């Protein structure tokens, strides 16, 4: 039996290696490794502008979609003015991933949004973001060391009976966190199913879809986390008839 194929949306960033300094398609290997460990094939999806109008061109090839972490989302995409702390946005990536997320929702394709990916899912459904979490929630639980998950562990509270709780296997779940933006107004059709101790939304889901989950933490950074395995299980299961 062939492995399910999970598309993982990659970043578009300037990168340096060896003698090169070029615009690059980037994805931490931890995402691919976590998908492989859960029994699936990871397919890196670059921000291809053609997918804005034809997202099915890649979704036709996938059994599930993962929206990975990365740069701040451009606030213009959710109708807000840019605040000083919102930096290094990549509108080309935002536009492609919004189109992919919306089409995945329309198809009922299993979808997991991680950190920025949860925020992108919310924006794709018409929601908005807090552009700088410390301004409202403080920062101790959400980002402790820039560029590292050192000391980044904190618990989240998950709603009883929610997809998030079923996938995590508990209503209190240990997580690794690294972000400065977060969900403000919740997008249409989504429900908040997880919270930090300071009541920031930590999980979103679509109850009317077979598997649509956004988590504000980084399950790919924890080999013991069952969250990515939940996406793979959903991708492996046959889609409902009709």
Contact residues for 146 (Cβ-Cβ < 8 A; gap 6+): none
φ, ψ for residue 163, nearest 5 deg: -60, -40
Q: Evaluate whether 169 touches 226 at the Cβ level (below 8 Å).
A: yes
CA dist., res. 141 & res. 198, Å (int): 8
115 catalytic? Reply is yes
How many CB atoms are closer than 10 A to CB 199? Answer: 10
CA dist., res. 171 & res. 194, Å (int): 9
218 catalytic? Reply is yes
| Catalytic option among 97, 115, 141, 142 | 115
Distance of CA 9 to the CA centre of its chain: 9
Dihedral, 168, 173, 175, 181 alpha carbons, nearest 10: 90
The token duo for 151 is 């000391």
CA dist., res. 106 & res. 22, Å (int): 36
220 catalytic? Reply is yes
Which residues have a catalytic role annotated? 115, 218, 220
């Amino acid at each position: 039996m062939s492995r399910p194929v999970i598309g993982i949306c990659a970043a578009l960033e300037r990168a340096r290696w060896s003698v090169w300094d070029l615009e690059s398609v980037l994805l931490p290997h931890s995402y691919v490794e976590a998908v492989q460990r859960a029994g699936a094939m990871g397919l890196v999806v670059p921000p291809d502008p053609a997918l804005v109008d034809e997202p099915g061109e890649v979704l036709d090839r996938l059994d599930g979609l993962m929206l990975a972490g990365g740069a701040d989302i451009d606030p213009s995409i959710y109708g807000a003015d840019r605040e000083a702390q919102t930096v290094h946005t990549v509108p080309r990536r935002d536009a492609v991933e919004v189109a992919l997320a919306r089409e995945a929702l329309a198809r009922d394709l299993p979808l997991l949004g991680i950190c920025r990916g949860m925020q992108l899912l919310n924006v794709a459904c018409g929601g908005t973001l807090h552009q700088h979490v410390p301004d409202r929630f403080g920062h101790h639980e959400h980002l402790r060391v820039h560029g590292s998950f050192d000391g980044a562990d904190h618990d989240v509270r998950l709603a009883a009976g929610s997809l998030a709780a079923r996938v995590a296997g508990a209503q209190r779940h240990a997580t690794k966190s690294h972000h400065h933006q977060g969900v403000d107004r919740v997008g249409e059709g989504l429900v908040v199913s997880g919270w930090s101790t300071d009541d920031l939304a930590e999980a979103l889901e679509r109850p009317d879809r077979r598997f649509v989950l956004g988590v504000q933490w980084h399950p790919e950074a924890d080999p013991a986390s069952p969250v990515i395995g939940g996406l793979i299980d959903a991708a492996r299961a046959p889609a409902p008839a009709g």
